Structure 1
């Protein structure tokens, strides 16, 4: 258990460009975490801490939960992708403690007025790119592509201090913290026990079972932002994914399965996102759908605070004409 410099709900002020520049290395980063051009508009502004980012899930090598030093997420602050080729992932931004400071009120006049630092913008522009690929297409560098470098140390499932910090920081409730621990232990046992002793064939908690024979089916609904949809049942979705839980290359995990049966609105269609492994912009043949308020909550993945938006195939959704369709809370919907 560590001392927490910030907690959820704390009001902080983002430092000026000059102050932030003083913390960055020649790669525009602090502790290998880049400060990005998309963050400049918040210099001098006051916001609340949304989550304490003391750890992060590894979406690059799938190694599990990793330790993050001295960082927070600020309420509602997601990357616009404006300086990264128009990437539409809208990742939560990491703010190192050295880039923010405590304040008493979000309405008070900032102590340091944000001003332009002429050396910072060129540094960030250079730092946002990798060398172009052999195909001549640009390669980008951002906080997501550098996640492994910024989190060199893993967090074992039985490191109980992380769960205490999840609760003490205000990231999650005591129940949610305990659930994440229980799910982590259960999944680990499924991985290490002899096959004959595993439950349900070794399936991780809450995951689906792919039942689609051969090539997975597809469907285009032409969904648009603002439309209401119902996320199909677990049984319906299982008929559309293969043994690797993929539909045409897009996966659905236990965190998404928690929302099965829920009625929500379409937030946006996603066509372009940066490949975290290569930095290359991926142009989707079939747009993915992002739903309002549906993000990974880390319920079964160590209470990760990244709140990554979930990407949905249209075949996993169906239009509804009314908002009166019964819904279920994600904490209890279809978990097995």
Structure 2
């Protein structure tokens, strides 16, 4: 369909979508999830062209995705996955969409078969709180790796509208720097490593094995400021974790910013196992802050970062 960012599309009805799915409720190994049914028949705007994604399961780098997009304001609410609060941006195969003209009249919805039972059956994996979703199946849906040197991905970033040329150049240079760092750590003695061999963003934990915690009991709607990078580094161990939750270079870009609390996160799916995890220490989601992939090949997934309360501080409105 050669969809681009900003194109108007209509999510097809259940009958049309059902005709594209196999017995597992998937198309090209990508599940159509129960949480997506509420969008059937709606007209929505293409937010990003999902031609690639970062592998957060096996850490193999970038993976190639075919014929898929992300739609604006279409995130999973976790209602059929144990209340998962990860809020992933949903993947939409082109076969599930129809490109429309803004002036085209909206058709009247016709009765359609009940698709929910098929999707629910394939959502559960075995017994207990273990689930299957788009995030857990991404290695099957995007089986081939996309090497850094593949120039075509950067051309597609620009042509699709995912990123402008200056942003693509910056991201390429960051990726090149990171590869030089990795290579230097393999062949040079430690004393010759530049900035300790760290990736661009230069995030290094300083807290040691035991990481501190703070309880602010933040509520949705409260205004907070993200602490400075130096303050946050003092809460991380060598693996850049604070009590099991990671802090990444992309998150460091927001240090010093103010934002409102959207939600407290207590449940999320483990992408590797599909197990529903209950957090011992709740995390925070902030409004309008997502991973933009600036340091990671312009990945269009736009994760919603989880923030520990120790990384935040309350701000009074108007201050």
TM-score (norm 2): 0.96
1:299 to 291, 294, 299: 294
CA distances 1:250-304 after superposition (whole Å, capped 9, x unpaired) = 1100000000111111111100011111111100011110111111000001101
Output aligned runs, 1:175-190, within 5 Å: 175-190=166-181
Q: Which residue of 1 aligns with 2:12?
A: 15
1:110 to 92, 106, 113: 106
- Measured after TM superposition, the shift of residue 207 of structure 1 is 3.4
Matched, 1:58 2:55: yes
Q: Which residue of 2 aligns with 1:327?
A: none
Distance 2:106 2:3 in 1: 19
Distance 1:112 1:95 in 2: 22
CA distances 1:199-244 after superposition (whole Å, capped 9, x unpaired) = 2121000031111133100000001111111100011011111111
SS at match of 1:125: helix
Distance 1:164 1:323 in 2: 43
Distance 1:22 1:322 in 2: 52
TM-score (norm 1): 0.91
- Measured after TM superposition, the shift of residue 86 of structure 1 is 1.1
1:280 to 275, 291, 301: 275
CA distances 1:181-213 after superposition (whole Å, capped 9, x unpaired) = 111111111112223354212100003111113
- Measured after TM superposition, the shift of residue 25 of structure 1 is 0.7
Output aligned runs, 1:24-173, within 5 Å: 24-105=21-102, 108-111=104-107, 113-118=109-114, 120-132=115-127, 137-173=128-164
Matched, 1:195 2:195: no
Q: Which residue of 2 aligns with 1:334?
A: none
Instruction: Please tell me whether the aligned partners of residues 195 and 202 of structure 2 are also in contact (alpha carbons under 8 angstroms).
Output: no
- Measured after TM superposition, the shift of residue 24 of structure 1 is 0.4
Runs of 4+, deviation exceeding 2 Å:
107-116, 195-198
Instruction: Please tell me whether the aligned partners of residues 44 and 114 of structure 1 are also in contact (alpha carbons under 8 angstroms).
Output: no
In 2 relative to 1, CA 323–158 (structure 1 residues): closer, same or farther, beyond 3 Å?
A: farther
SS at match of 1:269: strand
Distance 1:247 1:26 in 2: 41
CA distances 1:2-40 after superposition (whole Å, capped 9, x unpaired) = xx7100000001111111111001110000000011111
Instruction: Please tell me whether the aligned partners of residues 289 and 313 of structure 1 are also in contact (alpha carbons under 8 angstroms).
Output: yes
CA distances 1:108-133 after superposition (whole Å, capped 9, x unpaired) = 43347253313x2211111111112x
Distance 2:312 2:188 in 1: 35
- Measured after TM superposition, the shift of residue 138 of structure 1 is 2.4
- Measured after TM superposition, the shift of residue 318 of structure 1 is 0.5
Unmatched 5+ stretches in structure 1: 325-336
Output aligned runs, 1:249-260, within 5 Å: 249-260=244-255
Instruction: Please tell me whether the aligned partners of residues 263 and 323 of structure 1 are also in contact (alpha carbons under 8 angstroms).
Output: no
Matched, 1:321 2:316: yes
CA distances 1:128-159 after superposition (whole Å, capped 9, x unpaired) = 11112xxxx22100000001110101111111
- Measured after TM superposition, the shift of residue 180 of structure 1 is 1.3
Q: Count matched residues.
A: 315
SS at match of 1:278: coil
